[in-house]
């Protein structure tokens, strides 16, 4: 026989399920020694070349990486996902995509931990996911990107969200803006993603005594998109018509805010300034031209793939948090 040996072939010849073969190839402890020995003997007795299964047995690598993202309705995540897939491919890894909006459940954790992947990149972690992340990390190298979870247990690559929020506040104040609003979000059940929390904190502390909680609107993240920005801004302007600047903790909400301002007759930027966060592709469109804080996504992706490879090679590496600087990009919604 000269065909490539597949996991289906191994399973048939060894008289076991394909799932069992996958667990043997990953060297998971949930396979009985006798069963594992039978599967290994089939692989050794049938020396197909080249053999993906044989290579996996030799290197204990599948060549795949799981990428866990938050809701793909936010244009940030398709962009981040595209960059990750391209960068992983350049390093000969294939990406499998998992969409998780909120806290992971037990089934997702088990599936990730038992999947035939060499590592996991999380872009959707929340603080309350620490225990779940630890369970996955017990089986796989994991790296967090974009969000942190307030612990030094995991490698984490983020941009400086606090500095980004503070820089927007200082920009508003330096330009003489005095009635300043903030539109932000919870992450469901009263929690926040670290990105939202740090942007809020930097902005509020940057305003100091100029912060007015009456101009602060917060949504549940399940509704934290364009439509929410539109409604929130209409309500805010009805209550505070003198509003002259608004910071939104993501771009898609800021675009909704921009449309609401135009519908209510506000001239942007003459009457009202609007700043978002992330610099999604839509923010650069001429019809939007949104001022925003630009995250260094390509540099973050480069760092996360490099760190994942380092951790695969040396699992004992102490976890480290990398914080990358970002830029305030000024467009027509502020000047």
Instruction: Average the pLDDT over 320-335 and give the result.
Output: 96
Distance CA 291, CA 276 (A): 6
Nearest one of 287, 286, 288, 275 to 327, comparing CA atoms: 275
* pLDDT (0 to 100) of residue 156: 96
Tell me the per-residue pLDDT of 168-213, one tens digit each, with 9 for 90 and over.
999 999 999 989 999 987 644 445 789 999 999 999 999 998 777 6
Identical fold for domains 7-59 and 161-295, yes or no, is no
Measured in degrees and rounded to the nearest 5, phi and psi for residue 225 equal: -145, -160
- Kind of pairing between the strands at 155-159 and 321-324: parallel
The pLDDT value recorded for residue 330 is: 98
Fold adopted by 7-59: 434 Repressor (Amino-terminal Domain) (1.10.260)
Structure confidence by residue, pLDDT tens digits, 82-128: 999 999 999 999 999 888 866 677 888 888 888 888 999 999 888 88
pLDDT tens profile 149-166: 988 899 999 999 999 999
Q: The pTM is what?
A: 0.79
pLDDT in tens, 11-48: 888 898 877 877 777 667 778 889 988 888 887 777 54
DSSP string, 226-290: HHHHHHHHHHHHHH-TT--EEEESSHHHHHHHHHHHHHTT--TTTT-EEEEEE--GGGGSTTT--
Residue 130 to residue 136: CA distance in whole angstroms: 10
| CA 99 vs CA 123, 252, 277: distances in Å | 10, 19, 22
Mean pLDDT score, 143-147: 94
Listed by start position, the domains of the chain span 7-59, 64-159+296-325, 161-295
Token pair, residue 123, equals 């872009």
Secondary-structure class of domain 161-295 per CATH:
alpha beta
Q: Let me know if domain 64-159+296-325 sits in CATH 3.40.50.2300.
A: yes
> pLDDT at residue 49 above 50?
no
The DSSP element (H or E) to which 113 belongs, if any, is helix 106-114
């Amino acid at each position: 026989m000269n065909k490539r040996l597949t996991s289906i072939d191994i399973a048939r010849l060894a008289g076991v399920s394909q799932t069992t073969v996958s667990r043997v190839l990953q060297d998971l402890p949930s396979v009985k020694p006798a069963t594992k020995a039978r599967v290994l003997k089939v692989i050794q007795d049938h020396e197909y070349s080249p053999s993906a299964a044989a290579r996996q047995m030799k290197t204990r690598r599948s060549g795949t990486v799981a990428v866990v993202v938050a809701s793909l309705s936010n244009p940030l995540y398709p962009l981040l996902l595209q960059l990750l897939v391209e960068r992983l491919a350049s390093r000969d890894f294939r990406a499998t995509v998992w969409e998780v909006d909120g806290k992971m459940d037990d089934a997702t954790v088990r599936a990730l931990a038992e999947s035939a992947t060499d590592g996991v990149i999380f872009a959707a972690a929340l603080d309350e996911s620490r225990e779940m992340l630890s369970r996955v990390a017990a089986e796989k190298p994991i790296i967090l990107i974009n969000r942190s979870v307030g612990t030094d247990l995991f490698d984490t690559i983020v941009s400086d969200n606090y500095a980004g929020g503070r820089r927007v506040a200082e920009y508003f104040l330096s330009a003489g803006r005095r009635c300043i609003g903030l539109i932000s979000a919870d992450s469901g059940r009263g929690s926040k993603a670290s990105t939202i929390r740090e942007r809020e904190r930097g902005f509020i502390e940057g305003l100091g005594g100029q912060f007015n909680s009456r101009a602060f609107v917060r949504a549940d993240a399940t509704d934290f998109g364009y439509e929410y920005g539109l409604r929130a801004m209409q309500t805010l302007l009805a209550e505070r018509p003198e509003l002259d600047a608004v910071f939104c903790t993501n771009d898609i909400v800021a675009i909704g805010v921009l449309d609401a301002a135009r519908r209510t007759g506000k001239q942007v930027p003459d009457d009202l300034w609007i700043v978002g966060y992330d610099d999604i592709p839509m923010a650069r469109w001429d019809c939007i031209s949104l001022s925003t804080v630009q995250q260094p996504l390509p540099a973050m992706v480069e760092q996360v793939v490099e760190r994942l490879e380092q951790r695969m090679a040396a699992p004992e590496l102490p976890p480290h948090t990398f914080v990358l600087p970002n830029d305030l990009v000024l467009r027509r919604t502020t000047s």
